[in-house]
Structure 1
Amino acid sequence: MQAIGEVISRLNNTRMGSTSEICYEHTVQANGKEYTKEIKKITFDGEIFCPICERDRTTQELSDEEDLKIELAMGRRKYNVFHNQSVLTDEDLFDASFKTYAATKKEEIHNKELASKAFTSYRDGGTFTTWFAGEPGVGKSHLGMSILRNLNESGKKNKSCLFISVDEMFLRIRDSFDNKDSRYTELYFANLLTDVDYLVLDDLGTETGGSGTKKTASDFVMRVLYAITNGRQNKSTIVTTNLTRQELEKMYDRKLVSRLMKNIYVINFEDTTDKRIKKYEI
């Protein structure tokens, strides 16, 4: 904070002079009472001002500049979460967008429109879970990533967005049990996934075996998923899965599935075929 002397010193050897005008905006405390302190105004380049008011104004400007720097730094930190902390099994997904989602059939066109509407609602402040369900390869992850990328780039770019492959996350957590140098602990992911503004949980159910399996989730898997869903009750989440609700309830439990599916916006694929199966020409 600048002292009065510093303000006056800054103005030394300039066109400065004294005036008979008084500023009555300042007070002092004495004997338990508040008194007005009369400050004589000065003149500089033809302008008359109070040196204390000028000091306070300059200090406030500096404080506002620092606040803006902090806000921008925090915004950049949140913006970078998407690229720095997302966990993908296919790095090409980072390039996924609405433009690159090939939609030619009726269901594909419709679901692309639904995903675009989900993005618009999230951007405008909506809080809900978008639920992509269908067979592998139909574009669930692609559209989920498209929503997330657009959110990361929208507005002031100050919202944290994270894409997590559920299977890969659990592999990294399990690795941390024996690898004490790993940062990918259960606590790390629980904190990370609950803190972010927007989260994609990709391929839910694959960590236990996926479609057709009769396996049930371990206590460890249930504990992690409960921590995430509990922490995101009032946040927006995007889930992709190959499993039906009935299959998920057999794999986990009904209470967890109910929390995962709270306030959901469903985008279901029934007729779309696997887009990853393509003929290779030689």
Structure 2
Amino acid sequence: MHATDQTFQILLSQLLEKVEDRCPECGSEQYVWQQKNKDGTERCAPTCWSCGYKMLKKHEQQANQQRSQESFMARTQKFFHQGSLIADDALRQCRLTNYQTTELETRQAKERALAAVSAIVEGKPIHVIFSGKPGVGKSHLAISILVEVLERSAYQKYCLFVSYSELLEKLKMSMNESAKSQAKAQAYITRMKKADVLVLDDLGAELGIKNKVSTDFNNDILNRILEARQNKATIFTTNFSGKQLVEAYGTRIISRLMKHANGYVFQYKDTTDKRMRSVK
């Protein structure tokens, strides 16, 4: 053995120690650092000097992948929780698993929702529309789709749930406030344009009972959102029928809303208000 090799071996023996398990790749001995971390854990995984640090590299790759996934998961969850405008906090607990399928129509609605989830995870820019009377479960299914997409995509998609009437209220209130407040309100629009998947909830509710035609301000906001989302996955819920939507917002806006919606429009016709069942 050359002197340099001997010196190197002595140095290694002072810094490293053998472990019982041999390398699963080549059967050679493996080493760890003699000096541990402050908490007593190993500084790195067992390393094989004979086959080129394969275990160490694999361990580091797995650790880096996990850190990357956790970081992305934190960002998408923050985007959803801080950027969403959810009028009813109970919706945050809604999932496909607790959606009540008590009749044929609700079972069909859930099947449509599951089909939408698969399409969105595959990257298709579909538009999903759930329409029908209040309380039939439209918003429940819409937010459930978002949660399911987040989970199935390993939190790789930015998702938002926005109550349209809540959005308009914030925008209107900010008009008479500071520039900072106005910028904060406008940030909702920016996030809605950016989101990979957006739920625009309860479209038409902002018009109230008497008004059935949207205002210019309302149409301008809605048009800005839909223009940015023509080729992005978007889910709409509304109490209006197709005819009522056209009468309220005009053909241009509804044409954008209906883009990529073929096969993903579901209208509740027979389902009763689920919220009233508990008071009967």
| TM bucket, shorter chain | 0.7 to 0.9
| Aligned equivalents of 1:168, 1:155: Cα separation in 2 | 28
Q: One-letter code of the match for 2:224?
A: A
- Residue 239 (structure 1) aligned with residue 236 (structure 2): yes
- Residue 121 (structure 1) aligned with residue 122 (structure 2): no
| Aligned equivalents of 1:215, 1:280: Cα separation in 2 | 30
2:16 match: none
Residue 72 of structure 1 deviates from its aligned partner by 4.9
Assess, with a 3 A threshold, how the Cα gap between structure 1 residues 46 and 222 changes in structure 2: closer, same or farther: closer
Aligned partners of 1:78 and 1:158 also within 8 Å: yes
| Aligned equivalents of 1:183, 1:86: Cα separation in 2 | 17
Q: One-letter code of the match for 2:98?
A: T
- Structure 1 or 2: more strand by fraction: 1
Q: One-letter code of the match for 2:173?
A: D
| Aligned equivalents of 2:227, 2:278: Cα separation in 1 | 44
Assess, with a 3 A threshold, how the Cα gap between structure 1 residues 97 and 67 changes in structure 2: closer, same or farther: closer
Aligned partners of 1:132 and 1:241 also within 8 Å: yes
1:198 match: 197
Flag structure 2 segments of 5+ consecutive residues without an equivalent: 1-7, 13-47, 53-59
Assess, with a 3 A threshold, how the Cα gap between structure 1 residues 226 and 46 changes in structure 2: closer, same or farther: closer
| Aligned equivalents of 2:88, 2:223: Cα separation in 1 | 26
| Aligned equivalents of 2:222, 2:83: Cα separation in 1 | 18
Q: How does 1:65-214 map to 2 (within 5 A)?
A: 72-180=70-178, 181-182=180-181, 185=184, 187-209=186-208, 213-214=210-211
| Aligned equivalents of 1:80, 1:106: Cα separation in 2 | 36
- Report the secondary structure of 1:182's partner residue: helix
| Aligned equivalents of 1:71, 1:98: Cα separation in 2 | 24
Q: How does 1:13-32 map to 2 (within 5 A)?
A: 14=11
| Aligned equivalents of 2:116, 2:238: Cα separation in 1 | 17
Residue 256 of structure 1 deviates from its aligned partner by 0.6
TM-score after normalising by structure 2: 0.73
- Report the secondary structure of 1:207's partner residue: helix
Find 2:223's aligned residue among 226, 231, 240. Answer: 226
Assess, with a 3 A threshold, how the Cα gap between structure 1 residues 46 and 95 changes in structure 2: closer, same or farther: closer
| Aligned equivalents of 2:201, 2:174: Cα separation in 1 | 21
